[in-house]
Amino acid sequence: MESIIKIGALLREKGWFISTAESCTGGNLGSLLSKYSGSSSFYKGSIICYSTSMKLNILEIEEQLIKKYSVVSREIVEIMAKQIKIKSGSDVAIATTGNLGPKKGESSAEIGTVYISILTPKNHITRKFFFDGDREKNLRDTIKNALELLGDILCK
């Protein structure tokens, strides 16, 4: 995938490392980032925090915040990005959370609702998306948008 090669080159150029905290993408972003030879020069790793218990125990997100905002929310995805950045020692973090369908999970968020948060030494940007496909299409759209957003942020 050309975008991963571009992202890797931009990260290497800046001397930055990236890590991911993935809920709805289930490790797919990390898999793409580690796919190419040389990825160890910019990719540290991922925490797949698909369940609420992983968000609580591994990312150490406070339970009261999850209860207040929901696991599919701007507030939680931003904390996910901050926590993976701290825990991994990365310069850049990307986090995803959402409800890809076909049924609602632990959140009342509508199916197709996704949040992506990217934290760099210069910016913290979070976007909300609404996708209207089936689970597989929503996953592809989430990954595509996450990589596009990351590439745009790294070009600044």
pLDDT (0 to 100) of residue 81 = 98
Tell me how far apart the alpha carbons of residues 137 and 88 are, in angstroms, rounded to a whole number.
Answer: 30
pLDDT (0 to 100) of residue 104 = 76
pLDDT (0 to 100) of residue 128 = 98
pLDDT (0 to 100) of residue 46 = 97
Q: Going from the N-terminus, what domains does the chain have, and what CATH number goes with each?
A: 17-155 (3.90.950.20)
- 7 contact partners, CB below 8 Å, separation of at least 6: 18, 33, 42, 147, 150, 151, 154
**pLDDT value at 44 more than 70:** yes
Q: Side chain identity at 42, as an amino acid letter?
A: F
pLDDT tens sequence across 109-156? 899 999 999 999 999 999 999 999 999 999 999 999 999 999 999 998
pLDDT (0 to 100) of residue 1 = 60
pLDDT (0 to 100) of residue 105 = 75
Mean pLDDT of 15-42: 96
Tell me how far apart the alpha carbons of residues 142 and 128 are, in angstroms, rounded to a whole number.
Answer: 10
Entry pTM = 0.96
pLDDT (0 to 100) of residue 156 = 83
Mean pLDDT of 39-57: 96
**pLDDT value at 106 more than 90:** no
pLDDT (0 to 100) of residue 36 = 87
**pLDDT value at 4 more than 80:** yes
**pLDDT value at 3 more than 90:** no
User: Which residue reads 């001397």 in tokens?
Assistant: 15
